[in-house]
Amino acid sequence: MSLPLDGLAMKTRIAAVLFLIFMLLVIAAADSGTLITQIRALYNFPYGDKLGHFVMYGILSFLLASAFPRPFSWGRLSVPIVMLILLVFSTTEEYSQRFFATRTADGIDMICSWLGILSGTWLAVRKQRAAHH
């Protein structure tokens, strides 16, 4: 039996889900070549796309790991399940770009996504540990 969520926990979950939807819409728009000008502007400086991968996945992983902190444990290793899901998702999404004429799969983009996921998750875990001490 789970306890009801307090107001902050519910707001965190709503923010996480809304940002996930936003990310999925950005990915769909990029895949179809209809990315809006404001988002495309992020790429108008050197390595802007790399920074975009890091920041967007970092925010997403921070929000999701904060909202859904359930860990996956294997021996002494314990990490939020959402981190593992996002690592698989980002890898699959980057690889899938090979099948879209408007996209280019890039290993560096994937690494920047991974670093964002790891950083965002690390910050969420640190925040949760600080709140419990």
7-49: per-residue pLDDT in tens? 888 999 999 999 999 999 999 999 998 988 887 787 788 888 8
In a domain, 122, yes or no: yes
Residue pair 67/15 in contact by the 8 Å Cβ criterion: yes
> Region 101-110: what's the mean pLDDT?
93
- Domain span at residue 61? 7-131
Q: What percent of the chain has pLDDT over 70?
A: 97
**Closest to 43 (Cα-Cα) out of 122, 87, 109, 117:** 109
In a domain, 2, yes or no: no
Q: What are 126-133's contacts with CB under 8 Å, separation 24+? A: 127/66, 128/66, 128/69
Total domain count, the chain = 1
Q: Is the predicted pLDDT of residue 1 greater than 50, yes or no?
A: no
- The encoded tokens of residue 62 equal 């921070």
| 47-48-50-51 Cα dihedral, nearest 10 degrees | 120
In a domain, 88, yes or no: yes
In a domain, 111, yes or no: yes
In a domain, 1, yes or no: no
**Closest to 128 (Cα-Cα) out of 77, 79, 55, 57:** 79
- Alpha-carbon distance of 65 to 41, in angstroms, equals 28
